[in-house]
Structure 1
Amino acid sequence: MDRIDLNCDLGESFGAYRIGLDEEVVPHVTSVNIACGWHAGDPLVMEKTVAMAKQHHVAVGAHPGFPDLLGFGRREIKASPDEVYAYVKYQLGALYAFAHSQGLEVQHMKAHGSLYNMAGKDIRLAEAMCRACRDFDSQLIILALAGSQMEQAAKEMGVPCAREFFADRAYAPDGSLAPRSQPGAVIHDTQMALDRVVRMIKEGKVQATNGEDIPVQCDSICVHGDNESAIAFVTAIRSRLAEEGITCQSFGSFVR
């Protein structure tokens, strides 16, 4: 692999509340996942975030979540596949309005928080999200956790899918993300995270929490822009990838 995408969640501020350092991180990534107003974001923030992505020539994607502003979309909500289908389609339409009016395409959809995690393990929810994306735009790419039920559903339904790797998260032996409540689930050691990224790209492997290597193939690395240390981490990843001869570009150019 000689190319990789770097994606980041953006547009999660709303009203008087500012969340994340969007302006600082966007020049360093190649794809952005924009909140669509349910777990975070609002219409004005969406408008500005799309404009920011356009200015920096960064690919735009929808980041739909559960209607859970107070819980930031991280609380599980018992929703039927039909409800999830409608939730995703509704939020895709919201982002499309802002992107289309500024002459941009919506490259992808990446679910947020609990919606992402639940669809990664529940094939019925994964299939509902794939149907929503396919019915909205057959060329829309789903950004899914590598090895998840979401990736499997996309393959079976013929929906374009990009596989995602988390640079700063530990992996369970089954390939899922270790729960944040588990010690060591979030990796704070920059050098360790960088080494894991390079190994994953070059060898297709990552060490799980039990010490065993598990196979991981990916097209995009998730990074964050929550604080100054996160920004430093993103720039460190770009520098390390350049040293390794790996080009950063949006996955829409090589995943279809």
Structure 2
Amino acid sequence: MQPIIDVNADVGEGMLTDAALIPLISSANIACSYHAGDAATIATTIDLCKQQGVAIGAHPGFADKANFGRNDMMLPTPDAWYQLIAEQLSIIEEACNKAGVSMRHVKPHGALYNMSARMPEIAHIIAQAVYDFNPNLLLYGLAGSHSISAAKAIGLTTVDEFFADRTYQPDGSLTPRTQSNALITDDEVAMQQALNIAMHGKIMAADGSMIHPAAGVSKSICLHGDGAHAISFAQHIVHAFQQNGINIQAHG
């Protein structure tokens, strides 16, 4: 049996490359208009996914377009965190209903994603908001992080996410974007990282050590749609997977 892996990308963020990127992936995380995008980009992106048979997911982030949702924010109450997620899921759900398609998954964006990965209380609130909205939605989170464990604890189906275009620290966390080596910029390096993840579940950390983040059966490899090399990375990864008998397919 040939190995299967999901390849996802963050899209609907106003980039001009979405139309070229979406045919190369199996799952799309669509910005909900809080950190990026608007009603028009949401509708356009959903239509692109529908045309290509790509699974549709919500990509909720902080309401902070000035910083693209990549700066940590502290909200005043647990309910504020909960509503941040619920409101954005409703936006994507309504757009999906208009297009005659279904939302399949949720993946937090940027700082919200990273805070959920390292802070169990935030991970729990996000997971609960997703579960209450629709317990059949898949929740994507950083492999081996609190995002995954919190979601599993309340009965959500999870997808362990890895990144082809980001470097990792020895503890399995992503290298902060404030550091010069946070982003991978070479096609071959990104392709090899994706292959190592798909075939062996391992990653070379920034210090040269090999790490094996805890992961379940469902794995996904992410590419950032706003990345300068997104299309080239996707093309190289798709070709490498084809050459190695790895099928790209959405979970669920």
What is the TM-score of this pair, normalised by structure 2? 0.93
CA distance in 2 between partners of 1:6 and 1:20 (Å): 20
CA distance in 2 between partners of 1:20 and 1:177 (Å): 26
Q: Is the 8 A contact 2:13 2:226 kept in 1?
A: no
CA distance in 1 between partners of 2:132 and 2:226 (Å): 33
The Cα RMSD (Å) is 1.5
- Unpaired runs of 5+ in structure 1? 14-18
Tell me if 1:91 matches 2:57.
no
**Pairwise CA distance, 1:142:** 0.4
CA distance in 1 between partners of 2:123 and 2:228 (Å): 34
Structure 1 match to 2:31: 35
Structure 1 match to 2:173: 176
Tell me if 1:78 matches 2:79.
no
CA distance in 2 between partners of 1:181 and 1:228 (Å): 17
Structure 2 match to 1:16: none
Structure 2 match to 1:115: 112
Tell me if 1:57 matches 2:62.
no
Structure 2 match to 1:246: 246
More divergent stretch after superposition (228-237 vs 99-108): 228-237
Aligned-partner SS, 2:148: helix
Match of 2:241, as an amino acid? L
CA distance in 1 between partners of 2:224 and 2:127 (Å): 25
Q: Is the 8 A contact 1:12 1:20 kept in 2?
A: no
Structure 1 match to 2:21: 25
Aligned-partner SS, 1:201: helix
Q: Is the 8 A contact 1:224 1:234 kept in 2?
A: no
Q: Is the 8 A contact 2:185 2:229 kept in 1?
A: no
Aligned-partner SS, 1:179: coil
What is the TM-score of this pair, normalised by structure 1? 0.92
Match of 1:81, as an amino acid? P
**Pairwise CA distance, 1:8:** 0.8
Tell me if 1:4 matches 2:1.
no
CA shift digits 1:60-83 (9 cap, x unpaired): 000001111111111111114321
**Structure 1 residues 197 and 11, CA gap change in structure 2 (3 angstroms):** same
Q: Is the 8 A contact 2:32 2:60 kept in 1?
A: yes
